[in-house]
Amino acid sequence: MIFRIKMKSDYTVIGVVEKQRTNKTAIVAVAGFFVLAAVLALASVSGLSQGELNISNNVRAVSSELKLEFEKVCDSPDTRYVVAVFEGTEIVPCVSGPATDHWENDYAKFEAAIARCVKMSAHPIAFAIYNMPVWNTDAHHEYTTYPTFIDYVAPGVDMADIYWAGTYLGATKLAASCVTTSVKIDTIKGEGAMKTTCEKMGQDETMAARCESIENVQCPYEGDQNPCTDQYCVKAVEGASGFADISGNFGDECCESIKAWCKKGVDVETKRGCGNFAHKKIYTHHCVGTYESVEVSETILHPVLLAEKAAAELALFEAEQARVLAAEQAAARVLAAEQAAEAAAAEAAEAAAALAAAAEAAEEPVAER
């Protein structure tokens, strides 16, 4: 499910102006304002004076493809993220990834996508929209998805790169006007990074606790004699802060209890917890053992990656064609050899038959005259 609210601070200004004045001049004017604001803010942080800055008056544009990909993420609960980076003088979409029930794995893929995409850019800066799922309560029965604008600046980036990116900031935010909140990140942390990013969203006073529950997965089952009260499951999670926090297998007895509770065709209204995220994380991680290794395919969007993919596919096609041709040629050689052998055998048989006939004729007595 996707929940949207009007953005606060600078994002509200963008949204309001875009609705009230949809002509190109108004949008460019707003974008220009944020270019100036972004660059001046960076200047104050770096200690440079305005006189030392050479700020271009030109407002940079972003591609229509970028806006389209941003909107796709906001509108689709099946898409988790899209990452965009600089390609020459444009900001282009790089990769997008699907949404799965494994939220932490989705975020890890997102971070890997940022690292991969910025390596192809002359400016190690990325912009993205991430559909951030957050539990409504720690019961883990319902969650809200927040389309979130994320800008990433790699550690140690030269200020010239930041100024360059600042000239694109307004147009990029306009392209991402479908989001509900924004977050800045400057590191790719790995474990725990999703919770940290979630906490920066600050949608309401309960957000920190809701973000905390992303990692704190309690037993989701409800009802009489449910697996949460099973003696084997209780023993399996003894000492853990959450039902899914420990590593390893729960054991056959506990897993059989969960499997029986959530058997096929179960009434999820009377046996709560069988169809939600927590069950999938608990059962597949600790009983089936496939949850942590789930693999998903990203959609490649960057022109360089698309060219590499096309070249790789062409190489595979040509290699397959060469393999087929080589196999056909080998088969033809084998067939030719077999035919030659058969012909030689036939010729030898004919010669042998001729010799036998000649020998038999020689042995016949000569008729008297």
- Point out the domain boundary residue: 239, 273, 288: 288
Count CB-CB contacts under 10 A for residue 32. Answer: 17
Verify that 39 and 129 share a domain, yes or no. yes
Verify that 178 and 233 share a domain, yes or no. no
Please indicate, yes or no, if residue 60 is contained in any of the structural domains. Answer: yes
Verify that 181 and 248 share a domain, yes or no. no
Distance CA 26, CA 47 (A): 32
> The tokens of 265 are what?
């065709």
Verify that 49 and 14 share a domain, yes or no. yes
Verify that 183 and 249 share a domain, yes or no. no
SS3 annotation, 241-291: CCCCCCCCCCCHHHHHHHHHHCCCCCCCCCCECCCCHHHHHHHHHHHHCCC
Verify that 157 and 63 share a domain, yes or no. yes
Measured over the CA atoms of residue 221, residue 224, residue 229 and residue 232, the dihedral's sign is negative
- Point out the domain boundary residue: 159, 184, 212: 212
What stretch of H or E contains 182? strand 181-185
| The pLDDT value given to residue 33 | 42
Verify that 130 and 262 share a domain, yes or no. no
Number of domains in the chain: 2
| The pLDDT value given to residue 15 | 28
Please indicate, yes or no, if residue 367 is contained in any of the structural domains. Answer: no
| Mean pLDDT of successive 10-residue stretches along the chain, which has 369 residues | 34 29 38 45 39 47 86 94 92 94 86 94 93 84 90 89 86 92 86 85 80 75 83 83 68 87 71 71 72 70 84 89 92 91 88 81 66
Verify that 188 and 74 share a domain, yes or no. yes
| The pLDDT value given to residue 7 | 32
| The pLDDT value given to residue 222 | 79
Verify that 231 and 93 share a domain, yes or no. no
Q: Which residues pair with 185 in a beta bridge?
A: 152
Please indicate, yes or no, if residue 221 is contained in any of the structural domains. Answer: no
What stretch of H or E contains 316? helix 303-363
Domain that holds residue 40: 9-212
Please indicate, yes or no, if residue 139 is contained in any of the structural domains. Answer: yes
Domain with 192 in it: what CATH number? Answer: 3.40.20.10
Verify that 181 and 240 share a domain, yes or no. no
What stretch of H or E contains 172? helix 159-175
Please indicate, yes or no, if residue 170 is contained in any of the structural domains. Answer: yes
Edge-first strand listing for the sheet containing 79-87: 181-185, 143-153, 125-135, 79-87, 90-98, 299-300
3-state DSSP call for residue 293? coil
The answer to whether 207 and 198 have CB atoms below 8 angstroms apart is yes
Please indicate, yes or no, if residue 304 is contained in any of the structural domains. Answer: no
Give the predicted TM-score (pTM) of the model: 0.65
The answer to whether 38 and 163 have CB atoms below 8 angstroms apart is no
Count CB-CB contacts under 10 A for residue 307. Answer: 11
Verify that 81 and 164 share a domain, yes or no. yes
> The tokens of 318 are what?
């040509």
| The pLDDT value given to residue 18 | 31
> The tokens of 61 are what?
């544009």
Please indicate, yes or no, if residue 79 is contained in any of the structural domains. Answer: yes
Distance CA 86, CA 94 (A): 9
- Point out the domain boundary residue: 155, 179, 212: 212
| The pLDDT value given to residue 150 | 96
Verify that 43 and 154 share a domain, yes or no. yes
Please indicate, yes or no, if residue 333 is contained in any of the structural domains. Answer: no
